[in-house]
Structure formats: C-alpha cells, structure tokens
Structure 1
Amino acid sequence: MRICLIAEGSYPYVTGGVSSWIHSLMTSMPEHEFVIYAIAAEKKQQGQFKYKLPPNLIEVREVFLDAHLEEAAQWGKRYHLTPEQKRNLTSLVSGTKDVNWPELFQLIRSDQFSNVSEFLSSKDYFDLVEHLAKTNYSQVPFTELFWTLSSMILPFFTLIRHDIPEADIYHAVSTGYAGVLGALAKVIYNKPLLLTEHGIYSREREEEIIKANWVKGYFKDLWINYFYTLSSSIYELSDQVITLFGRNRDIEIELGCNPDKIEIVPNGIEVADYATVTRTVQDDKIRLGAIVRVVPIKDIKMMIQMFALVERAISNVELYIMGPAEEDSEYYDECVQLVKTLGVKNIIFTGMVQIKEYLGNLDILLLTSISEGQPLAILEGFACAKPYVCTNVGGCRELIEGRPDDDFGPAGYVVPVMHYEEMASFVIKLCRDENLRIQMGQNGFARVAHDYKRTAFINSYKQIYKELVGGIHTWQV
C-alpha cells in the first residue's frame, strides 16, 4: 500500500509534536510505502530536513507557499468567468463556507489560469474585490482590501496548481492547506481520504490572528473566516476523520464535520523505551523542564513570567526550555529579552537536545501552550514518572486528571491559559513537596502505561488504512 501523508509546517522540517507522530507512524509500518507531501512557508527551507528519513519513505514532495514570487504577470486580463465560478471565488474569500470545492479546483487548475499572479492582476479579480468592498468593507481603504485578499489567496491558488503524488490513500495530518490538498487529491484520483486532527487547526489560526500585529483589526474576521472555510473542504470530502480526544470531536462537529465520520484514536508511546532514563545528578537543585518549540503558540513568555515568580520563592530552582528556537527567531529574541527584563537568573534555553538525556534529572515538567492537541511531550514525561503543570488546552486535562472511568489519580495540575500566577503557585507547591511530586509522577506513569500504548495507536491506524483502501469511497464530481 502507498500512503501519501500531507503535512503543513511540520515533518520533515520541524522536530517534535506532529512531526514525531508522523515519523513514528512510518517507521512502525515498514510493510507500507509512504510519500510525504510537505508544505513549507518558504523555498529557502527546501531540503532542510531534521529527520533521518526511513527506508519506506520513497518520496518527499515539497511545495512552498512563497512560490508565486517567481511568477510574472500581465495586468488587465479578462477571464470571462461563469456566474458559478464567480460565486465560488466570492465564497472562498468571504468566509461563507459555501464553496463547491470540485468546481473551484477545476477552475484554478484549468488552462484558463496560466499562473496565479496573472489572475490577481486581472479585471475579474478586481471585480471580486470591488464586490466584497461594497458588501462588507465599504469603510475600509480599497487598496488595503485588495492586497489583503491577494495575500490570503495567493498561497491557496499556488498549492492547487501543483501536481499531487499518486497513492492508494491520502492522509492529511491537519486541516488548512494540508486539508485542501487532501480534498484536491480526493477529487483528482477518487482515492480514500483520511484526516487526523491533532489540534483544531482553524481555532489555532484564529488565536494567532487575534494576537497578530500584522493583521489590522478590521481584517481579522476576514482572515479567521478564511481559515474556517479552508478547513471545511476536508470535513466535507474526507472519508474518515480521526481525532485524539472527545473535546476535539465536539469542536469538529460544531465546525460542520459529519459526526459519523469521526473516530477517536489517542496518541501512544511505549514506556519501555524510557526504562533507561534515570537520575544522574545528585544535588539539592529542583529542575523544571519544558519540551517545546520556542514559538508564540507555546506561550514561552508566560512560562518565563511564571518562572520569575517561582524563582523568587524557591532559591534552588532551574528551568530548562528544551527545543528549537530557530523557527521564529524574532520571538526567541523577545523571550531572551523578557528574561533579562524580569531579572530571571536560572533559565536555560538548550536548543535541540536528546530529551532522554535530560528527563531523568528533571523534577517537574511544564506546558504553557495557547493551543494543543494531545501533547506527546506529556506522554513522554509520564513515561519517566514526572508530574506536569500545564494549561487547559486540547487533551491536557484528560491526560492530567484522567477520563471519568480512570482511577489512577491526578498526575499534576491544570490552569487556565495565560494564568502564570496560578501556574507558579502549583509549581511552588510541588517544589516544596517531594512526596507529592513522586506520587503524581507515578500516577502519570500508570495512566500512560495502561491507556496510551504505542502499539494500540499503530494497530488502530493499520486497521483504518486497511478498511479505507478495501472499501468503496467515491466522490462524484
């Protein structure tokens, strides 16, 4: 079987999280061939892989969202679009979700469109922007709306015009651009389409846009609705949707996904893989750790603010932030400056490390994200019997406190997003109570060993692939 995994902004350019999940999936199924269809932001990332690719990964097909910059355009062309084509394009940018995806894909991939930039220089595109300006944005400068819409749909058009690798099954690991390409593959090849949604992509983009300085206030809704519209493509065209916990399923249904399509398959690891992780340093220091990329959605600034309070109360404490910082160097610089401004002494940004070399010497693990799915980092910490203090995002509460039928006991504490003072109070409590740390760590270990086995996760996907390829899953254009 040949499986095409469609990934945006993750494997093989970024380590941890979804990337680790993808790598684990492929290496656990040597009997199948995999193709990675990788979506990256910039062409300068080409070939910059962070993983040793497994032998059953037969191709990495790379596409870049800035590819349109190489295109030349002629102004003023007229495409003579039909009323239905105009309606589809208007629905795409206005956020109504009322898009006939097969017809829109067919238009963008047709010979009518010699390149993306030329369409955005056409009279038809001007008419589209003018219509939206009159109906929704009459008080907004027309040129701002024109260029905002252009920056929105340029990547979308660019991706749709790329060739899709042939496979027996298409598996998108998020909605958004990856989901759109999965929907396109479904329409072109009429093969089974599977979506795994770790976090809710459209909700994550909404949170980022609300905070973003580069989006003017009156365009925030436009951007947010656009990403919800993109996500609707794969909710509509997928044969099956996998999510990791119950709350995600509820949100997907709320966003328009057919509940009959959705199945819950939790992440998993093997605790035996962490059996050799032991404490190698014997001293009186209490070491906190975070397995995390230094990017805004992980809210490292909250972690720094929280640790500033902990450091004032606990003299022998250290914080290790373990993960890459190069993904958003500007944000990393801001974090370093915040450390200096707050006068924090004992934060260490390790960069990329072998996590197992650090886990044994850590006493408490932290997660301060604004959005998550079901973090593998928490499962890794539990496999080493370490307690967690984390924000109430994604499946974190379920991991820390357990499901209703779970009697293992709490494995740490959960606090609201951005509540660094409350998080600090729980961290201080654990710092001062070694027995509580040990007990909560053991609770987490028991939970992950019982409920989150890697073999169960892999076997579930093997069965899903088998059933999808063996079934009849057709889309009539």
Structure 2
Amino acid sequence: MRIGLLTEGGYPCATGESRIWCDRLVRGLHQHEFDVYALGRGERAGRPGAPPPAHVRRVRTAPLWDDGPDGAVPGAEGPGSGGGAGLAPAAHAGRLPRAAGSGARAAGTGRTPGPWTYGRRDRRRFAEHFERLATALCRGGAAVGAGDGAHEDFAEGLYGLAELAGARGGLGGALRSESALRALEAACRAPGARRSAHAATVPDYLALADRLERLLLPLSLDWYGPDGLAAADLCHAASGGTVALPGLLAKRFFGTPLLVTEYGVRLRAHYLAGGGTALGAPVRTLLAAYHRLLAAEVYRQAALVTPGNAHVRRWQERCGADRAKLRTVYPGREAERFAAVGEGSDQGDPRTLVWVGTAEPAKDLVGLLHAFARVREAEPGTRLRIVAAPVRDERAAAYLAHCRVLAAQMFPDEAATAHAVGDNPVSFEEIGGPEAPGPADAYAAGCVVVLSSVVEGFPVTLVEAMLCGRATVSTDSGAVVEVIGGTGLVVPPRNPRALADACVALLRDPARRARLGAAARARALELFTVEQNVAAFRALYLEALSLAPVRRADEALDRYGDPLPFAHPAEAYVPGHRTPGSGPASGFGSGPGRTGDTGAGERPRAGGGRRVPAWAVHAEPAEPAGAASGGGHG
C-alpha cells in the first residue's frame, strides 16, 4: 500500500529521535511504498540526511515556523528543498511566496497570487470562513463537547479556508489583510467571547494574525493533488498538531484514512512553554484554544491513534480521543546495541552509580547531587558518573556548568586532590567522549542506573539501562512506572533522601541487583524493541485500511452510489504484479498501492461521495500503452 508519512523537522531531513524512529519504521515496512511529507523547522528544512531506501518514492519538504508555543522561530530562514515543497520563506517576512518549483499552488498550476488579489466572491468566502474560525477561538473550546459549537465552527472554518487556499493559491495575503484583522476584532468583542479575548488590543490582533498565518501554512502547500496525498492509501502523521493538518485535509477531501502517532503530546508541550513567550495574555489564550481545537479535530477524524504510553493516552482522552481508536505502541530501541552488556556476566563496578541523559533542569541533576552526598555518607567509596548528551544550546550549557560548580563545592576535598577523572567521586562525561564511547559502555560502567527527572515523557535512557540488565532507581514522573513495571525502584521526584535510600539499598544487596536487572532486561526485550514497534504498525496499517471504504471512483459501489466497505480487502496490498483479470469483480488486485507505480495515471478519489475541491481535479493523462482496464498491478 502507499503510505503518506507526515513528519516535522525529521526524516529524512534532520537528525534526532524523530528521524531515527521514522527511518526504522520505513525500513522495517519495506513491503509498502512511502511518500514522505516533511514540515521542516526553519533552516533545517531540506537539510539532507542519509539517503532513504528505494521504496521511498518521493520526499517533499516545506518550511514551518511553528517551533515554539507561539508558532514562531526567531530568525528562521531558508527555502524548502526541491521536489515540489511548499511556500518559500518570503511568506514569513511579509512578502509573497515564490512560484518557481516550490511555491504555493493555484488551481494545480503553481501560480502564486498577490497579497489580496481575490475577487469579490472569494473575499466574501474568506471572510466567512475566517470569521467562523476566529469565533471558535474566542468563544469556546475549553472542553470537548461543551455545547458551545466551537468545535463545529473551528472545523468548518478550517476546511473552508483549505478549499479556498487550494483554489486560489494560498492564504498568506488574505491572512495579512485588513479583513482578517477586522474579523479577529469582531470575534474578540462579540457577545459570548472569553473575558481575555475582550481585553485584546490592536497589537494583539496583529500578533495573532501573524501566528495564525504560520500555523495555517500547511493549507497553502501543493501536496494535495492526484500526485500527492490524494494518491495515498493511508496518511500516517508522526506527531499531532500542525503535522497532522495535511492528513486532516486528505481525510476531508479524499477520504484517506489517517493514523496519528504521538510519543509526546504537542498540546501539553504548548501549555508547558506558553509562559515563556513575550506574547500578551489574550494572544496566548487564543493560541491555546487553536491548539486545543486542532487536537480535538485530529483525534476525531483519525481512524486510529497510537499513543506511546499511558501518560500520553490520558492526555488524548482528555482532549476528546475515542478510546476505541486508541492503540498504545511503545517506541522501540535496538536491542542489539546493548546485547553484549545485557547478556554478559559482568554487573559493572559495584560502587558506581550512573546517570545518562540530556543535561537540562527537568532532569534535576541538582537533586541528584544532593542525593549522592547522602549516598557518600552511607557508602564512602561510591562514585557517580554523569554521562550527558552533547550540549546543543546555551541554556543546557549553562545548567551543566552550574552542576559542575555545585559538585566541586559539595565535594571540595576530593576535587582539590583530583588529578584525573577517576579521582573525583563525581565525573561529568559526554556520550562519545574518551571515557564513554557509547551509551552501552556508560551503562556497563556502573551497577545501578539512576533517573532523577521531575518532568519526563517516555524514559528512553531507562529502557536502554533495562536492555543492559542493570538495576534502576527512578523518580515517579511521566511513563516511568509504566516502563519499569516492578523491575526497579521508584521514588517520589524532588526527594533526595528517598533517592539516596533506594540507591544505598541496591548498593548493599548484589543479589537483589542481579534479580532486578534480569527481570528488567526480559521486560524490555518483550515490550520495547524495534521489532515489536514495527510489527505493531504493520498490523495497524492493515486495520486502518480494512475499516475504510474503497475510495476509487471506478471501484464497486452500492445501489446508493456509495463505496462498498471491504470491496478491496487489505490483503490485496502486497508487492508484485498480477495478470489482468486475476482478481474478483470487486477489484482485488487492482488497488492503488502498487509497487513501482508512479501515480501518474491515477484518478482523483472521493471518500463516500464527498465533494472533491476543484483544485484537486486535474485532467486525467492518457494511460500508458499496455495498461488495460482491470488493473494489471497487484
């Protein structure tokens, strides 16, 4: 089958966990074809990574200025890469996007209109749809099913703007117009609007319009024609929020099933970072309403939603996700990287504690140092190795420097006599450095692995320690308890005394450490490997497709003209070729997910009789020679 993989700043245009996960997924599901649609972040849009495998048919990228809670990336510049990306970065600077190769589409021609060149009818259409969306932001959305009509207004306004953007080549000029500002002002001052919206001023309207232009950028991309997402059998969004927006449009206009994977909730990240912006309270409130309403619409329209853990699942349910659609799929790690340590008999230095991760305040290294001081009082010969990932920003560098100074102050005698890394009870190392060539070697150096976070999502380092067969002491944050499952010690966060007592208990009991380490490795091999992750999505792809009706106009229809469910079974989507007429009359063997098919001769699809926008319908090219009706592709 043909998968439209929607990513943000990840595969294959950047590095990091997102890219690694997408690459493993694509390579593990080699029986399917993938079209990658990557929303880049600033200058990283289009940065080349490792070449994708052969079954990745195309990679299309577009810049996205949504790197923070307010949707802004300071100084983000750089065009999207080739391959029919999307808008050029000039749109961010208040200028028109270019139309050469990577510009916004206009009725499928690639033209880019002026900032406000819509006719009178189109201006009325824009005002109507944008007013509905603005009213939804100002009026409600605080809770799913609140009965205020905000969710319905938001959805209809969003899809109306998407159809207008497709027909007229983008929304950049319209969203910067005086008409948009007047619509925002009217919505904020209308009866029933929130109290914070009533307090908005002209600078707030300008700031909000600027942020909405960036957040709605995916509506103006040229990804939705018959050679784009309309040709996909399934859209898989690697994140929620803005990343899933192209999948929403494909679901709306073509009936393409949407699968959403979230290992961290974007709405939660927006809430956590919202207070650190320079935006006024009215703008922050309305942007929060936008993200909340978008998340609810994504969950409502998705065929399946795959949270990475129970913590994310609870957030999704609170935002309106139907429990029947939720399938928890844990992220996988490569067990082979840690097999030598996990299967070995060496349990590490019995007097060494190890911490591995990214140095940032949420990891609470300060609390860990205070806990280690208590451990040293009980077990004087104990050492602590802090192995951090390479520092990438000034904030992390400052925090790590602060922790180094604090360690020197807490252990002055040892620091004064230290002539090598091993002479100090606390050592700060870097993954890939001379003392810790890799994560597996870092875990192998100690007998107990410690996690001291106060805010945590899915604890990847904890899973790696479990694969290495190490006993663990962790704080109860995020999905820690779910991952540990009784194979390690868990203490309350921000409690150095409890953390120290747990570490001392394991340091003094080698037999208990061995039992917990063996149990932890068995649990990690069962639940948290790349193989189980890929196998889960292999089954989910077939499940999502089996629940969706046939979407081709020439497929089997019932007497009312609607596509027949299961008329094209999921088992037909296999690599290879079939002879003409080999499938049954329902279309078996003639599906759209064909190996080697470029999509050039496919027709636009409609889902369940839904009207397909005019911009998605192109003149159908002539069929290549030898392409007899009846579908010769398997």
TM-score, length of structure 2 as denominator length = 0.64
Q: Does 1:40 align with 2:40?
A: yes
Q: Offset of 1:382 from its aligned partner?
A: 0.9
**SS in structure 1 at match of 2:340:** coil
Matched, 1:467 2:556: no
Structure 2 unmatched ranges of 5 or more: 66-88, 97-113, 142-149, 409-425, 550-606, 612-634
* SS of corresponding position for 2:92: helix
**Structure 1 residues not aligned, in runs of 5+:** 403-408
Tell me the SS of whatever aligns to 2:544: helix
- The residue aligned with 1:145 is 204
Task: Tell me, in whole angstroms, the C-alpha distance in 2 between the residues paired with 1:128 and 1:70.
Answer: 22
**Corresponding residue for 1:406?**
none
CA–CA distance in 1 between the matches of 2:116 and 2:222? 28
SS at match of 1:264: coil
Query: Is residue 395 of structure 1 aligned with residue 479 of structure 2?
Result: yes
**SS across alignment from 2:469:** coil
User: 2:448 maps to what in 1?
Assistant: 364
User: 1:208: which partner in 2?
Assistant: 273
Deviations 1:243-284 (A, max 9, x none): 234454343222111222222333445645532235999767
Partner of 1:130: 185
1:170 and 2:222 matched = no
Quick one: which amino acid aligns to residue 92 of structure 2? L
Aligned pairs for 1:29-428 (under 5 A) are 29-49=29-49, 51=50, 53-66=52-65, 67=89, 68-72=91-95, 79-80=123-124, 81=126, 83-92=128-137, 96=141, 98=151, 99-101=153-155, 104-108=158-162, 110=164, 115-134=170-189, 135=193, 136-137=195-196, 140=199, 142-164=201-223, 165-166=228-229, 167-210=232-275, 212-216=276-280, 219-269=283-333, 271=335, 274-277=338-341, 286-292=352-358, 299-300=362-363, 302-311=364-373, 313-314=375-376, 316-326=382-392, 329-344=393-408, 346-350=427-431, 354-368=438-452, 372-400=456-484, 402=485, 409-416=486-493, 422-427=498-503
Structure ranking higher in helix proportion: 1
- The amino acid across from 2:220 in the alignment is R
CA RMSD, aligned part only?
A: 3.5
- Which residue pairs with 2:600 in the alignment? none
Q: Deviations over 1:278-310 (max 9, x none)?
A: 599976761413244x566xx14x124423541
SS at match of 2:29: coil
Partner Cα separation in structure 1 for residue 497 and residue 10 of structure 2: 32
SS of corresponding position for 1:346: strand
Q: How many equivalent residue pairs?
A: 460
C-alpha separation between the residues in 2 aligned to 1:279 and 1:147?
64
Q: Decide whether aligned partners of structure 1 residues 145 and 363 sit closer, same or farther in structure 2, where only a CA change above 3 A counts.
A: farther
Q: Distance in 1 between matches of 2:349 and 2:135?
A: 64
Q: Which has the larger radius of gyration?
A: 2
CA distance in 2, matches of 1:39, 1:447: 35
C-alpha contact 1:7 1:173 (8 A) present in aligned 2? yes
Q: CA deviation at 1:365?
A: 3.1
Cα gap change, 1:184 to 1:274, in 2 (>3 Å): same
Greater shift after overlay, 78-87 or 374-383? Answer: 78-87
- TM-score norm. by structure 1 comes to 0.82
